[in-house]
C-alpha cells in the first residue's frame, strides 16, 4: 500500500483539508487528498521505483503528484508556503513544517490534517469551529482574502454547508469581505460560477445572496444591481426539499432578459443554463397571470405549443 512506501523512506503522510472536515462531520469525503513532507521529485522517484503509475496533470510545480492505485487516483501534495500571491494564483516553496502549510489555507475547518493513525493535527481550532458550526478564516480575514479573492465566495459556500442558522458571522469578517469585494472583478467567471452554483444549492441561500448585495459583491459577479429580492425570497421558500437547478434559483433575481445576458458575459454559463434563464424570464410574466375560471388554461396552451 502506498502509505508503507512513505513510511519506509521516513516521509510523513497525512490526509489534508476537505476530507478531514468531512470525516469529522460524519460524512463520506468525495475525494481524499494527502499532504506529505516528501518533495514532488522524491515522490516521483519513490513511486516509479515501486512501479506505481503516475498521472501527469500539471500540478507538479504546485507540488501535487497524482498516483493511480487500485483503480483510484490519489492526489498527494508537498507541504508548501505561498511566497508571492496576486489575488489569483501563488508561487510556492516547499516546506516540512505542517503548521506553515495549514497557515496558508483559507478557513479553519479546512486547515486540519489527519494522521493515518487517527491523530488529528489542528493548528487553528478548526475542530472546535466545526463542532460549533463556525466559519472563520485562518488568521486575518483580510490577508487570506487578498491571497485569492475567490475565498469570499468559498466563505459563503461553507457557511451554507456548515452553519446552523443565518446571520452568525463575525462582524470583522463581513467588514473584510466588504472592503475586498471589488477584488472579485479580477477573478475568472468560470471559477466564480463553480462556487456560486454550490451556494445556490446549499442552505441559507436567501441570507447569503442578500449578503452579497449588502456587502457590494453582487455587481462584481454578474448579478443585476437591482436584483428582485422579493421574488428571490418567494422562490427560495418554495424550493425547500426540492432539487432545483442553480439557474432556476438564480433567475428569480432577474427582471429582464438582459440580466441573463449580462450573467453569461461575466460567468460564461453553459448554453443550457442560459436558455433556461431566458425561458424563465420570458414566461414567468405571461404564465403567472392566469386568473379567471380556468387558471390552468395558459399552461395547457403553452404545453400544446
pLDDT < 50 positions in the chain: none
pLDDT in tens, 175-225: 999 999 999 999 999 999 999 999 999 999 999 999 999 999 999 999 999
pLDDT of residue 298: 78
Q: Cβ of 305: how many Cβ atoms within 10 Å?
A: 5
Give which of 172, 66, 69, 162 is closest to 110, Cα–Cα: 162
Cα 186 to Cα 9: distance, rounded to the nearest angstrom = 43
Q: Distance between terminal CA atoms of the chain?
A: 61
Backbone angles phi, psi at 301, to 5 degrees: -60, -40
Look at residue 293 in the predicted model and tell me its pLDDT: 82
The C-alpha cell that represents 82 in the structure block? 505561498
Per-domain residue ranges for the chain? 1-134
The predicted pLDDT at position 58 comes to 75
- Bridge partners of 72? 69
Asked whether the CA dihedral 242, 243, 248, 252 is positive or negative, the reply is positive
Residue 95 is predicted with a pLDDT of 96
Return the pLDDT at 249: 97
Query: Which CATH class name applies to 1-134?
Result: alpha beta
Interatomic CA distance for residues 79 and 9, integer angstroms: 16
Q: What is the pLDDT of residues 104-119, one digit of tens each?
A: 999 999 999 999 999 9
Q: 252 exposed, middle or buried (CB, 10 Å; 0-12, 13-18, 19+)?
A: buried
Cell numbers of 210, please?
Answer: 442578500
C-alpha cell at 53: 503509475
Amino acid at each position: 500500500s502506498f502509505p508503507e512506501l512513505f513510511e519506509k523512506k521516513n516521509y510523513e503522510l497525512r490526509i489534508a483539508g476537505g476530507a478531514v472536515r468531512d470525516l469529522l462531520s460524519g460524512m463520506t469525503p468525495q475525494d481524499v487528498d494527502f499532504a506529505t513532507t516528501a518533495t514532488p521529485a522524491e515522490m516521483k522517484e519513490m513511486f516509479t521505483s515501486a512501479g506505481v503509475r503516475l498521472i501527469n496533470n500539471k500540478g507538479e510545480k504546485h507540488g501535487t503528484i497524482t498516483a493511480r492505485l487500485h483503480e483510484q487516483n490519489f492526489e498527494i501534495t508537498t507541504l508548501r508556503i505561498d511566497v508571492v500571491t496576486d489575488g489569483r494564483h501563488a508561487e510556492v516553496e516547499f516546506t516540512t513544517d505542517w503548521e506553515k502549510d495549514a497557515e496558508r489555507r483559507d478557513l479553519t475547518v479546512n486547515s486540519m490534517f489527519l494522521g493515518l493513525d487517527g491523530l488529528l493535527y489542528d493548528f487553528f481550532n478548526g475542530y472546535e469551529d466545526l463542532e460549533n458550526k463556525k466559519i472563520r478564516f485562518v488568521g486575518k480575514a483580510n490577508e487570506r482574502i487578498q491571497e485569492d479573492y475567490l475565498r469570499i465566495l468559498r466563505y459563503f459556500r461553507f457557511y451554507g454547508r456548515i452553519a446552523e442558522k443565518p446571520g452568525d458571522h463575525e462582524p470583522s469578517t463581513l467588514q473584510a469581505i466588504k472592503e475586498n469585494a471589488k477584488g472579485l472583478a479580477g477573478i475568472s467567471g468560470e471559477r466564480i460560477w463553480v462556487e456560486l452554483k454550490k451556494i445556490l444549492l446549499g442552505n441559507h441561500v436567501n441570507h447569503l445572496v442578500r449578503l452579497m448585495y449588502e456587502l457590494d459583491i453582487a455587481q462584481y459577479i454578474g448579478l443585476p444591481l437591482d436584483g428582485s429580492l422579493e421574488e428571490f425570497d418567494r422562490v427560495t421558500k418554495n424550493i425547500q426539499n426540492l432539487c432545483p437547478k442553480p439557474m432556476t434559483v438564480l433567475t428569480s433575481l432577474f427582471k429582464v432578459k438582459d440580466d441573463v445576458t449580462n450573467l453569461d458575459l461575466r460567468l460564461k454559463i453553459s448554453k443550457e443554463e442560459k436558455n433556461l434563464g431566458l425561458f424563465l424570464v420570458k414566461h414567468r410574466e405571461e404564465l403567472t397571470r392566469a386568473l379567471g375560471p380556468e387558471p390552468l388554461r395558459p399552461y395547457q396552451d403553452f404545453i400544446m405549443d
